[in-house]
Structure 1
Amino acid sequence: MAGKPIRLAYLPWILRIPHFTLFSRMQNKIKKILIVRFSSLGDVILTTPVIGALKSQFPQSRIFFLTKAQYGDVLRADPRIFSLIEFDPMQKNKGFSGFMRLVSELRSQDFDLLVDLHANLRSFFVRHLTKSKIKLKYNKHRLSRFLMVHLKFLKTKAIQTVDSYLEILKRIKIYAPEKNPLIFSSQDNVESSDHFLLEQKVKKDDIVVGVHPGARWETKRWDEEKFAQVCQILIEGHNCKILLLGDAEDDELVENISKGVLKPRVIQVLGLPTGRILSLIKRCDCLVTNDSGPMHIAQALQVPVVAIFGPTHPKLGFAPLGSKNVVLCANVKCSPCSLHGEKRCSKKSRFCMDLIEPKMVVEAVEKLLKENEFFLKEA
């Protein structure tokens, strides 16, 4: 141990020097930045304001972003990212040896700034084993969210996830004026989507409403019959064309909703890669969705969103922000009953979802289309 140099990354902890003090001495030397967020789709998208803030502060820096391979498509076209590092736990990085291979690749880079936006066990090892002069980890606010779910009577203050991500940058005196997520669609995906829509006879002046009825957890899914009613009303009342979006495993759900719509103006879109889904949502004039990844995609593409929240509540921090979006929530006493909607409903009825009616969703869509200067055509 004698004579071994002290790692610069540990100096703020050892000497109790605030991060911004060390940072102010190195500000002109920040050339390589690593951002870590492995999953999930929505969370990865919500980190993009951090990308923007860092690129604005260090325009000449090279930003590396580490995420799971399955979410890489959502960041692949981002011009602010120098290198997208994709972690593949199923193949290339499978098991302990595969993970250490990833760590070895990261250690060879010697970063100036590492920003851990995941704060889990995997990112802990990445953070501690990767060389970086300054290391930051975001606060998940676990206690606050636990109280919101399990001790609702305490009236815990809502915390936006984007604010939590940006909060850690304040430690190094970076304040982000822009909090809206931002993602980009590649030209190839845009052209492929345009060709697909042309085949489906969707014209440039058609009003297209995207509908995404799926969600990772079944409790977060609004009733398929109600989705079908919304589609029917928008088609009959305003001559809208409906893009019915879903994952490969949503085929039965999408098919059931399509059968519930009388007029054949529903276009099914199933099992496409994230990049293609992204470009199709970009063409939509509005998206109706449960609390899910596509909700965040639409928000980050500045597509107006009608988001339906039930067992998860907007106050947990994942709801879309801004006047271009409408969040529908019944605000029943038992919600939120879990952080991500994984808990089965223990009530006689899913009041948090059942109290949201198709008329409320249609009125929200009409409001957004009118506010964004889309002329609602009568059928």
Structure 2
Amino acid sequence: MGDVAMTVPVLIALTKQYPELKITVLTRKFFSPMFITLPNVDVYEADVKGRHKGAFGLWKLYRELRKLKIDAVADLHNVLRSKVLKRYFKYGKIPVQQIDKGRPEKKALTKSTSKVFKLLKTTHQRYIDVFQELGFSINLSKDSVLPKETLSEDALKIIGSDSKKWIGIAPFAAFEGKTYPLELMEEVITSLNNTDKYKIFLFGGGSLQEQKLEVLDSKFNNCLSMVGKLSFSDELALISNLDIMLSMDSGNAHLAAMYGIPVITIWGVTHPYAGFYPFGQDMDNALCADREKFPLIPTSVYGNKMPEGYEMAMRTILPETIVNKLQLVLDKV
């Protein structure tokens, strides 16, 4: 989801600078609300678990896309499925440009020995490079964000309305090495809740996360778990109305960033230098684990590799540090 969300600022800039372009985004149907307000942008569903499954399904998908009279393809994913589609498009003499994911430099950044610790090209820039190869130069400015959305009546019945500042917290990530310990996050929430100045919305997904967040919901009077309560469209609308988002190195950081919401990110065994920093955010808003104590960070690009002892890395980021950063940024909002 984060990779898809990171395309949005680039497409906003592209459609502003080339209003004559007609763009079709090939992605899962679930992600379509991200693109619904973009001019000249449609979403075509990739049903990779149904009619577009496997090589024959991708051939069927290619035949469907050919009917749209596509002139060129920008592959911003560069995975096995898109490589198969690339072959089909090239067979049909339709030009394709694929993203360079920078695998060699990312490998050097995450090595356990002879690590090359340096800031790599952002994913947003890698997307821009693809369009550059197709002949479309893009000037990506910080105002390439989506406007605030209006909350639906159904959402307002659940959320309510008040004069408090709204804080979103997304405390989970795909891997343990990217997830702040929940008992420490509870300390953060306790401090914020006790001020009685903030309304705290908890974001996550899946039954296990839902159970954990419902426990927090029940403990704090200013805290509300949103798991399973809103459609994805309504959840995006809520995110667009936040004053700030606190997130791991995960998709919710990018969802908030595509609306220009200030985002505080917490980094464990991954690091912003790999290029996945949320769009338009001040680098000071990244709270990173102590590399002096854990010098192998980043241990991987996605957080799926955690050396022995590195499960303690996140604990070098103190709850009071997080609360202070949130309040510092909120004072400027």
TM-score (norm 2): 0.88
What do the CA deviations read for 1:204-223 (whole angstroms, capped 9, x no partner)?
x2211111111122221101
Report the residue type matching 1:194 in the other structure: L
What is the CA-CA distance between 1:193 and the residue it aligns to? 2.4
Residue in structure 1 matched with residue 102 of structure 2 by the alignment:
141
Unaligned runs of 5+ in 2: none
CA distance in 1, matches of 2:45, 2:214: 33
Q: What SS is found at the alignment partner of 1:111? A: coil
| Aligned residues between the structures | 323
Report the residue type matching 1:326 in the other structure: N
Q: How does 1:224-263 map to 2 (within 5 A)?
A: 224-249=182-207, 250-258=209-217, 261=219, 263=220
What do the CA deviations read for 1:173-216 (whole angstroms, capped 9, x no partner)?
533222556346765x6443233222xxx31x221111111112
Residue in structure 2 matched with residue 339 of structure 1 by the alignment:
301
Alignment of 1:168 with 2:130, yes or no, is yes
What do the CA deviations read for 1:249-272 (whole angstroms, capped 9, x no partner)?
31232134346x4x4221111134
Give me the identity figure in percent: 25
Residue in structure 2 matched with residue 355 of structure 1 by the alignment:
316
CA contact (8 A) 1:53 1:174 kept: no
CA distance in 2, matches of 1:128, 1:54: 26
What is the CA-CA distance between 1:170 and the residue it aligns to? 2.9
Bigger shift: 328-337 or 128-137?
Answer: 128-137
Highest RCO, 1 vs 2 (Cα 8 Å, sep ≥ 6): 2
Report the residue type matching 1:247 in the other structure: G
CA contact (8 A) 2:5 2:254 kept: yes
The structure-2 alpha-carbon separation of the partners of 1:95 and 1:127, relative to structure 1 and needing over 3 Å to count, comes to: closer
What do the CA deviations read for 1:224-245 (whole angstroms, capped 9, x no partner)?
1111111111121252111112
CA contact (8 A) 1:116 1:123 kept: yes
What is the CA-CA distance between 1:316 and the residue it aligns to? 0.5
What is the CA-CA distance between 1:287 and the residue it aligns to? 1.1
Alignment of 1:327 with 2:286, yes or no, is yes
The structure-2 alpha-carbon separation of the partners of 1:190 and 1:146, relative to structure 1 and needing over 3 Å to count, comes to: farther
Alignment of 1:117 with 2:80, yes or no, is no
Report the residue type matching 1:270 in the other structure: V
CA distance in 1, matches of 2:172, 2:85: 33
Name which one, 1 or 2, has greater alpha-carbon Rg: 1
Unaligned runs of 5+ in 1: 1-40, 373-379
CA contact (8 A) 1:65 1:81 kept: no
Residue in structure 2 matched with residue 45 of structure 1 by the alignment:
5
CA contact (8 A) 1:306 1:328 kept: yes
CA contact (8 A) 1:68 1:87 kept: yes
After superposition, the CA RMSD in angstroms is: 2.4
Q: How does 1:197-346 map to 2 (within 5 A)?
A: 197-198=159-160, 202-203=161-162, 205-249=163-207, 250-258=209-217, 261=219, 263-271=220-228, 272-320=230-278, 321-323=280-282, 326-332=285-291, 333-343=295-305, 345-346=306-307
CA contact (8 A) 1:305 1:324 kept: no
What is the CA-CA distance between 1:367 and the residue it aligns to? 1.1
CA contact (8 A) 1:64 1:84 kept: yes
TM-score (norm 1): 0.78
Residue in structure 2 matched with residue 37 of structure 1 by the alignment:
none
What do the CA deviations read for 1:292-338 (whole angstroms, capped 9, x no partner)?
11110111111111110111110011112333971100242121111
What is the CA-CA distance between 1:45 and the residue it aligns to? 1.2
CA distance in 2, matches of 1:217, 1:63: 34
CA distance in 2, matches of 1:190, 1:213: 25
CA distance in 1, matches of 2:65, 2:301: 32
Residue in structure 2 matched with residue 66 of structure 1 by the alignment:
26
The structure-2 alpha-carbon separation of the partners of 1:82 and 1:289, relative to structure 1 and needing over 3 Å to count, comes to: closer
The structure-2 alpha-carbon separation of the partners of 1:154 and 1:215, relative to structure 1 and needing over 3 Å to count, comes to: closer
Alignment of 1:85 with 2:70, yes or no, is no
The structure-2 alpha-carbon separation of the partners of 1:195 and 1:81, relative to structure 1 and needing over 3 Å to count, comes to: farther
What do the CA deviations read for 1:91-136 (whole angstroms, capped 9, x no partner)?
3323443322211101222322211111122112222313465422
The structure-2 alpha-carbon separation of the partners of 1:281 and 1:53, relative to structure 1 and needing over 3 Å to count, comes to: closer
Alignment of 1:108 with 2:71, yes or no, is no
CA distance in 2, matches of 1:154, 1:325: 22
Q: What SS is found at the alignment partner of 1:119? A: coil
CA contact (8 A) 1:282 1:298 kept: yes
Residue in structure 2 matched with residue 14 of structure 1 by the alignment:
none
Identify the match of residue 127 of structure 1 among 71, 86, 90. Answer: 86
The structure-2 alpha-carbon separation of the partners of 1:132 and 1:64, relative to structure 1 and needing over 3 Å to count, comes to: farther
